[in-house]
Amino acid sequence: MIEGLIIHTAEQGTPEWLEARKGVITGSRFRDCREKLKSGTPAKKSIDYAKDVAREREGGEPLQAFSNSAMRLGTEQEPYARMLYERKTGHIVEEAGFITTVDRLFGVSVDGLVGDDGLIEIKTMVNSDTLFTAFVDGDVSNYLDQCNGALWLLGRKWIDLVLWAHDLQKMKIIRIERNEDAIEELEADLVEFERTVTHHQKSLQLALKEAA
């Protein structure tokens, strides 16, 4: 677990919630942070995200505020999926809010804390491609960096990835155990990504100073 964490309890989508996320490398984008070309250099998605974070840290608007219909549906379905998870497993889930490191470099929004050791992450299967990839075929690779990142920051032993097919009223729960090797690799890549953010931030600071 990272020493020293801040729990932000503002409701999702509020100005306070957006402010808490501003300039923070967030768990939902950890996978993008690690995107690389075959040559090993950062992919465009990774570079673009680093520039977004750098801009936010210099006072830019929180670009994470973007929300589409799929994201809104996922937010709407989350309380029901959490309740159904509790009913199916017998676990009591404590809502967590947005949690950041004290330096606000990294943060995660987990969908719930379970006892002293567990977490849950709820994914609503909004489109059919996601449904067949994750729910049917069991390929949850798109979510592993986010899940491992939550285990890294919060020091938990496991996380239940909850796949919720809302229109079909079916739920699949996939337990992901803590894997120290995977977490160490993730941490190294995220620290490297943070250096990239800092590089772009310094470039932006210089350009803004010259334009003043």
| CB 100 within 8 Å of CB 142 | no
Instruction: Please tell me the distance from the alpha carbon of residue 53 to that of residue 21, in angstroms, as a whole number.
Output: 10
How many H helices and E strands in the chain?
7, 9
Tokens read off for 182: 């995977």
Q: What is the rounded CA–CA span in Å between residue 102 and residue 144?
A: 24
Tens of pLDDT along 71-90? Answer: 777 788 899 999 999 999 99
Q: Could you report the per-residue pLDDT of 201-212, keeping only the tens digit for each?
A: 999 999 999 986
Q: What is the pTM of this model?
A: 0.91
* The residue to which tokens 């993008």 are assigned: 32
Determine the 3-state secondary structure of 18 from DSSP: helix
CATH of 5-211, one of 3.40.640.10, 1.10.10.10, 3.90.320.10, 3.60.15.10: 3.90.320.10
Q: What is the pLDDT of residues 99-117, one digit of tens each?
A: 999 999 999 998 999 999 9
CA trace torsion 147, 148, 150, 151 (10° rounding):
120
Say whether pLDDT at 68 is over 90: no
The rounded distance, in Å, linking the Cα atoms of 164 and 110 is: 16
Q: What integer pLDDT is reported at residue 183 of this predicted model?
A: 97
Q: Cα separation of 95 and 81, whole Å?
A: 13
Give CA–CA dist 60/57, Å, rounded.
Answer: 7
Percent of the chain with pLDDT strictly greater than 70: 94
Checking if the pLDDT of 139 tops 60, the result is: yes
The confidence band for 67, taking pLDDT boundaries of 50, 70 and 90, is low
Judge contact between 119 and 154, C-beta under 8 A. Answer: yes
Instruction: Please enumerate in sequence order all residues whose Cβ is within 8 A of that of 90, keeping only pairs 6 or more positions apart, or say none.
Output: none
Amino acid occupying residue 183: I
Residue that the structure tokens 């032993």 belong to: 157
Two structure tokens written together for 126: 């909004």
Domain boundaries, the chain: 5-211
Cα–Cα distance, 178 to 157 (Å, whole number): 5
Burial tier of 124 (Cβ tally within 10 Å: 0-12, 13-18, 19+): buried
